Structure 1
Amino acid sequence: MVKVREDHPLLHDGSLDVESWLQNVKQQYDIKDPEVLGRALHIAKQVSDEAIANRTYWSIDSMQMGMEMAQILLDLRLDSASLVAAVLYRAVREGRLALLKVEREFGEEVAKLIEGVLRMAAISAIQKTSDKIVLGQREAQVENLRKMLVAMIDDVRVALIKLAERTTAIRAVKDGPEDKRRRVAEEVFNVYAPLAHRLGIGHLKWELEDLAFRYLQPDSYKKIAKLLDEKRLARQDYINEVVQRLREEIHGVGIKCDVYGRAKHIYSIWRKMNRKNLDFSQIYDIRAVRILVPEVRDCYAVLGIVHSQWRHIPNEFDDYIANPKENGYRSLHTAVIGPEGKVLEVQIRTDSMHEDAELGVCAHWLYKGTDLNAKDQGYEQKIAWLRQVLEWHEELDDLPELAGELRADINPDRIYVFTPEGHVVDLPPKATPVDFAYRVHTEVGNKCRGAKVNGRIVPLTYLLKNGEQVEILTSANAHPSRDWLYPDAGYIHTTRARAKVAHWFKLQARDQNIDEGRQMVLRELDRLDLANEPLVDVAQDMNMKSVDDMYAAVGAGDLRVGQIVHAVLKRVDSGTPQQELPLARRSEPATRNTESDGIYIEGVGNLLTHLAQCCQPVPGDDIKGYITIGRGVTVHRSDCDNLLHMEATEPQRVLQVSWGNRPHHTYPVDMLIQAYDRTGLLRDVSAVLANERVNVIAVNTLSNQGENTANMQITIEVESLERFGRLMNKIAQLPNVVSAKRVRNGARL
């Protein structure tokens, strides 16, 4: 369940009793300079009293929010400077207390902390896409974000104070207007809950997620809360019985332990129900206990005791001690068939691991600048992540990409692989050795020429799996290949790696980019028998001043070859649809789009569609649709930041859409294969066609024994150009094959 705003002691006139609150804090926490905190509270109260006298009542809450922020930071064990900064922050932000006065009264350290938190207000710009930023302000926004990240890296307390401020803000909007609740909840869900997760502050992350979920999807929240509440007493009795039994068994073998029921988080339950398509009754961690023990070896001993008491559920065990999550989280998770045949989840960790899980980076920040032991490496890893985000942001100048990186670790299906030195590297699903190389270091990716997995050479398109050891083979003369940027080629599946490759090509000379781009475009057009089509008008369609500018954009990675091919095909008008391979799939007339027949909505008939201005998708991009109110379906790129947020908050309004129409039938197309003749060539080509489930209409082969060459013209049936392009790629990779290209206009061997 989510928390509510904590009650503070009040005086007889209803105002905050600051002295009583401070005395309570002194008794509960070990504060180094309580007198300094008292002075800060006194100044904050003066500002609040002045606001009351001037009838600006909106400022009264600033005092209470300052005390709430300080309370959160006390639980995170931060120092006096952080507490003072939290108490005074709202007064400075509202312009009622000068930062210079803070510096004179409390020193440079406190003033810098407040200044850093003020700069972090720029992170709200992440929710805006670049086309919505007013002309001339983009550079300022980027600079503000850089300052914010630098502040976080120099002193992580800035990020923690901002997290406390946003936590009090989302608590405070409980009774506010709905639009304000949603606005605050969206920002918290997009940025601050993922940031708390990355910094390993578990209890703040859960509260922020639950509150944001409560405001963004109130019906779903209330439904799950009601289901939890209906059987609360019976479930608590059950947990008490399990806790007592486990405590007796563990103490019986001489291990000290603390066993208790684990809190239920509504958002995590909802997310698991939707991700795995489960009913509420099928969620394992509705009944859950946590066991804390002194040593790591005790964790595994207790695991054995749990499994000896109750039958373990297959595929429901995770060892995050041997393979910690990237944010430093360590624990053993298992699920068993407990008493009465009910599923029970058990978490086992040491007291130190529990402290890390609840406090994260806060448990280690005091060690900064000193010799760190193994326990405190988590702090350095989190700071290294923040530096990594800054480095990437400087290369891209892309606000939506930054938000995506902050959210990246929310995906629970990430894979974990090892470097040759034994370090664990986490990657998203379907990651390749190229993705791994750029995850390790930019230069490793740029110099990558091959890869070994578990000591065996694998192609760079190999999909990595959990637990594999990956070694990248590098060469001083190697450099990124432009083929890596082709989505269909399968070399790259992460946004970070794609951005790194594109950035490398951007740094190359314009002339080289033009040459490389020209070769890529002409090679693809020649392969599709479109080499004779004029490109001047196509360049204009791409918003380029000249064909050379278009080539340079392709060479630099800013423009995809597939986009140019689509533009050329739109201008080609030869033959009837039955004779010409379509741009994409065809559908029944009844499902044509009312605004543009270039977009098909799966499972839906005529609906108005329009392209989103935030990401401006073009043919060739992966796309999805979002059902708006009164405006039909808005089409976004699949990696659009706005769409990702809407997909997380309102998945029922996101549709599968595609360019073109559903296939009604296939189309014949001629393909010419040129190769050096060898035994089994036709057999290998036929095997590729069979594996791709392609129907062959005709085959005509001609061998030249004098030159030892062979030409094959094969007529096949395919439903789209994309499918045909992938097929030619696979055939071109066969041994002895020189080229595979399309033949049009009835040309024969």
Structure 2
Amino acid sequence: MTSATVTSSDRSPANMERRESGTRAAIPSREDLIEAVRAYHPEADAARLGDAYDFAKEKHGEQLRKSGDPYYSHPVQVAMLLAFIQLDQCTIMAGLLHDTVEDCDVALEEIERRFGVDVGELVDGVTKLGQLQYKSEKSKQAENFQKFILATVQDIRVLLVKLADRLHNMRTLHFIPKEESRLRIARETMDIYAPLARRVGLYQVASELEDLAFHHINPAARDSIIDKLEELTSENANDLERIRFAIKQIVAENGIEARVKGRRKQPYSIWRKLERKSISFRDVADIFAFRVIVGSVQECYQLLGAFHTVWACLPDRFRDFISVPKPNGYASLHTTVRASGNRLVELQIRTEAMDRTAEHGVAAHWTYKNSEYGFDLESSKAAGLDPGANLRAFGELLADGAEPDEFLEHAKLEMYRENVFVFTPKGRLIILPGGAMPLDFAYAVHTAVGDTCDGVKINGVVRTLRTQLKNGDVVEILRRPESRPVVGWEALTVTGRARSAIRRLIRDREQIEFVKLGRTLIDRDLRRAGIDPIEIDMPRIARRADFESSEELAEAIGRGRYETADFIRTAFPGHEPAQSDPQQRMLIDDNHASRMIAGADLTPGVTLHLGECCHPIPGDRIIGLREPEKGLVIHTIFCQRVVDFEDRPDLWVDLRWNDVSKQGVVAVGRIGVRAVNKRGVMATQASAVAQAGGNITRVETGERSADFLQLIFDIEVEDLRHLEQIKAALRALAVVESVERIEEVVN
């Protein structure tokens, strides 16, 4: 953001520490700030800028920073950083005032009245929420980040002020005495603020934030990399100078005017590459790069051809970010060539406009338009940068109701992953994080497309939803008529938007199904109490029981928050809930049996769950036990869990397998096999299971001796009859002594 970000020596934390201690730089005066702003915005209101400067200085009063500097020096430095990237006057004023509401007991209304609503909204967006009570530091960070992103999506300037604020705080982080606090702030900077800076194209800011955080998190690694960098630079100085000269010669021979700049990879970027690729320091191909800046896009491609004619390129190291810019607007041609001296060097070819965007991202598009100084959205979009769309993925997480901790987790994933570029059948480009799968694509197209996804075609071929997408894939989502959550879908996604939308779909479906379950239970128990549900006014009766509506009552009962017995006593004085004989209820009553199994009214994995204790499968006699906030858990009638609740028949729901359950539904049966302990015995049994049409999903070894061993198999089967066929196939093996189904039974 400032000239201090240009060279690596100026940017080192050691040099910053010297500047901030002993021989600290003078605090910029109000005149210095006004001059910096009017240098690019001559029509800026000097009086308003000066008023904001004086207000911040007055309100922060005698407050001191950990460095011993007057506190007002911090907002002044933040404003100077914002002026360096030439932002509008309101943003500069917000930088001056951003801590007054939190630290000086200044009312936001006073900021708005004195400096305008626009400035007040920016200050409100940036203000820390330290006065709120949180359960933990993690919750505080998550909720703070969630609200900050909400403000950022509405106005990108909130993010720019916050990044300037964080950058100056990081430059003075060494003054904080507690190492624990320094590490926490450095990790937060590395996890959140540096990736956000990259998200909007502020590469210089991101690099400096990473370098400063790296200095505190792993100083030994940083120092080691810098030493190796210096050594490598010294060794290759002559080669690099020859390459620079050769580049200029090739440019001149093609009749093109260009600027050539050298770039050395930053320490943290090298560290990440060493971590990610498990390579040695000297194997990093892009430690040294040259940026060739020309006048037009046509000249970019002309020079690319010229360089590839003279030097051999590495095909897998070529990237065309001009035809497909990065989501943050970054555009350039990248190619790695084997130049003179057999030296691998990266070349970055771009126009002047691309270079400005590469340096300052969204901040490169503040300029004059129609006599007003501000953000030029048309210029930004022409450069491939839409700041609203660029952060919209975070806003969509909020729209799906993600909890703060969940939101923070997904946002980090969104920020860190590389990108994959795929297309709809109509040619629309969809940019996704690396590793994305078809469900991520579906939800990126539209929430309704994701909710109704039933399959996928990739490049015209039907593929599984577990397929990872690759650059250039054409993806067609196959849809079903209705939206319905599918168990395990969340594991088939990597984007926060898709995961959050799936959780929202499950929550919505849960509510519908808990209402349905509650109504079934109300109807059942009213009839047992001798009350005909058809003849009563349920909304009025629900209000008598202190519920706003019959839906709210039904949901509370379905979730197990409220019992039907209590409802009947409250709503119908004099009526007592009927008592049931648990032994009689062991028999499934077909007249009152719920048809809510295996894909009928309740959704498996959402409000309907198979008991993991007894592994019920179609054909078993079953009962449902209500569990609070979970729904119905299905057990076999002989399961120990049912016996444990034989004195609570109000928790039981009569169930039977419906016709749907007999048509291709896959259940899991658990069996124990006692077999001869010899080589290959497990393979023999697995082969027998497969030939009988079963699929082993889990194997566990039980008791073992020199002669025998016990193997426990979880096997996907169609129904009880299928399981019995598999057991018979195993018993037919010479190596098998016995086969029994494993489930909890009444002793």
* Aligned partner of 1:521 among 585, 609, 617: 609
Are 1:697 and 2:685 counterparts?
A: yes
Tell me the equivalent position of 1:680. none
- TM-aligned CA distance change 1:455 to 1:374, over 3 Å: farther
CA distance in 1, matches of 2:322, 2:138: 39
* Alpha-carbon displacement from aligned partner over 1:306-338 (angstroms, at most 9, x marks no partner): 222322124111222223222222222111222
Q: CA deviation at 1:224?
A: 0.6
CA distance in 1, matches of 2:419, 2:296: 28
CA distance in 1, matches of 2:426, 2:375: 26
Please show how residues 200-279 of structure 1 align to structure 2 within 5 Å: 200-279=201-280
Q: Which residue identity lines up with residue 630 of structure 2 in the other structure?
A: M
CA distance in 2, matches of 1:288, 1:281: 14
1:196 counterpart SS class: helix
* Alpha-carbon displacement from aligned partner over 1:703-733 (angstroms, at most 9, x marks no partner): xxxxxxx993889897449xx999956x979
* Alpha-carbon displacement from aligned partner over 1:469-512 (angstroms, at most 9, x marks no partner): 1122334x23234244384xxx4454542332232132121155
Q: CA deviation at 1:404?
A: 2.8
CA distance in 2, matches of 1:124, 1:296: 53
Q: CA deviation at 1:280?
A: 0.9
CA distance in 2, matches of 1:251, 1:125: 63
CA distance in 2, matches of 1:183, 1:402: 19
Q: Which residue identity lines up with residue 550 of structure 1 in the other structure?
A: K
CA distance in 2, matches of 1:456, 1:551: 39
Please show how residues 292-691 of structure 1 align to structure 2 within 5 Å: 292-364=293-365, 372=378, 375-376=381-382, 378-380=384-386, 382-475=387-480, 477-485=481-489, 487=491, 491-508=492-509, 509=512, 510=514, 515=596, 516=602, 521-522=609-610, 546-547=626-627, 549-551=629-631, 669=673
Q: CA deviation at 1:212?
A: 1.0
Is contact 1:124–1:187 with CA below 8 Å preserved after alignment?
A: no
Is contact 1:522–1:531 with CA below 8 Å preserved after alignment?
A: no
Which sections of structure 1, spanning at least 5 residues, go unmatched? 540-545, 555-560, 573-666, 671-692, 702-709
Tell me the equivalent position of 1:82. 91
* Alpha-carbon displacement from aligned partner over 1:122-165 (angstroms, at most 9, x marks no partner): 999899445xx7xxxx9xx85x6665334222321111101100
Are 1:44 and 2:24 counterparts?
A: no
- TM-aligned CA distance change 1:206 to 1:373, over 3 Å: closer
Q: Which residue identity lines up with residue 118 of structure 1 in the other structure?
A: T
CA distance in 2, matches of 1:22, 1:355: 23
Tell me the equivalent position of 2:119. 110
CA distance in 2, matches of 1:15, 1:463: 54
Q: CA deviation at 1:205?
A: 0.9
- TM-aligned CA distance change 1:26 to 1:436, over 3 Å: closer
Moved more, 190-199 or 519-528: 519-528
CA distance in 2, matches of 1:212, 1:56: 20
Q: CA deviation at 1:85?
A: 1.7
Is contact 1:451–1:457 with CA below 8 Å preserved after alignment?
A: yes
Moved more, 30-39 or 252-261: 30-39
Moved more, 297-306 or 357-366: 357-366
Q: Which residue identity lines up with residue 437 of structure 1 in the other structure?
A: A
Q: CA deviation at 1:392?
A: 1.6
1:285 counterpart SS class: coil
1:30 counterpart SS class: coil
Tell me the equivalent position of 2:188. 187
1:465 counterpart SS class: coil
- TM-aligned CA distance change 1:571 to 1:75, over 3 Å: farther
- TM-aligned CA distance change 1:527 to 1:89, over 3 Å: closer
Please show how residues 43-82 of structure 1 align to structure 2 within 5 Å: 43-47=55-59, 50-51=61-62, 60-82=69-91
Q: CA deviation at 1:458?
A: 3.2
Tell me the equivalent position of 1:608. none
* RMSD, aligned α-carbons: 4.7
- TM-aligned CA distance change 1:66 to 1:411, over 3 Å: closer
1:284 counterpart SS class: coil
Is contact 2:459–2:475 with CA below 8 Å preserved after alignment?
A: yes
Q: CA deviation at 1:17?
A: 5.6
Q: Which residue identity lines up with residue 249 of structure 1 in the other structure?
A: I
* Aligned partner of 2:46 among 20, 23, 34: 34
2:630 counterpart SS class: helix
* Alpha-carbon displacement from aligned partner over 1:632-690 (angstroms, at most 9, x marks no partner): xxxxxxxxxxxxxxxxxxxxxxxxxxxxxxxxxxx9759xxxxxxxxxxxxxxxxxxxx
Is contact 1:262–1:288 with CA below 8 Å preserved after alignment?
A: yes
CA distance in 2, matches of 1:404, 1:499: 11
CA distance in 2, matches of 1:205, 1:348: 21
- TM-aligned CA distance change 1:218 to 1:106, over 3 Å: same
Q: CA deviation at 1:419?
A: 1.8
Is contact 2:78–2:165 with CA below 8 Å preserved after alignment?
A: yes
* Alpha-carbon displacement from aligned partner over 1:191-224 (angstroms, at most 9, x marks no partner): 1111111112111111111111111111111111
Moved more, 252-261 or 233-242: 233-242
Q: Which residue identity lines up with residue 439 of structure 2 in the other structure?
A: V
Tell me the equivalent position of 2:154. 154
1:405 counterpart SS class: helix
- TM-aligned CA distance change 1:21 to 1:314, over 3 Å: same
Tell me the equivalent position of 1:166. 166
* Aligned partner of 2:32 among 4, 8, 21: 21
- TM-aligned CA distance change 1:534 to 1:212, over 3 Å: farther
Q: Which residue identity lines up with residue 347 of structure 1 in the other structure?
A: Q
Is contact 1:239–1:261 with CA below 8 Å preserved after alignment?
A: no
Is contact 1:99–1:111 with CA below 8 Å preserved after alignment?
A: yes
CA distance in 2, matches of 1:429, 1:482: 24
Q: CA deviation at 1:424?
A: 2.3
- TM-aligned CA distance change 1:492 to 1:104, over 3 Å: closer
Q: Which residue identity lines up with residue 323 of structure 1 in the other structure?
A: V
Moved more, 406-415 or 262-271: 406-415
Is contact 2:365–2:379 with CA below 8 Å preserved after alignment?
A: no
Are 1:289 and 2:290 counterparts?
A: yes
2:187 counterpart SS class: helix
Q: CA deviation at 1:353?
A: 1.5
2:99 counterpart SS class: helix
Q: CA deviation at 1:430?
A: 4.1
CA distance in 2, matches of 1:127, 1:269: 34
CA distance in 1, matches of 2:308, 2:212: 35
Is contact 1:697–1:716 with CA below 8 Å preserved after alignment?
A: no
CA distance in 1, matches of 2:697, 2:176: 61
CA distance in 2, matches of 1:346, 1:164: 30
% identical equivalent positions: 29
- TM-aligned CA distance change 1:485 to 1:16, over 3 Å: closer
Is contact 2:34–2:46 with CA below 8 Å preserved after alignment?
A: no
CA distance in 1, matches of 2:173, 2:20: 21
Is contact 1:700–1:712 with CA below 8 Å preserved after alignment?
A: yes
Is contact 1:332–1:348 with CA below 8 Å preserved after alignment?
A: yes
Q: Which residue identity lines up with residue 361 of structure 1 in the other structure?
A: V
Number of residue pairs the alignment of both structures matches: 583
Q: CA deviation at 1:456?
A: 3.3
1:315 counterpart SS class: helix
- TM-aligned CA distance change 1:478 to 1:107, over 3 Å: closer
CA distance in 2, matches of 1:384, 1:741: 57
CA distance in 1, matches of 2:24, 2:169: 25
Moved more, 120-129 or 390-399: 120-129
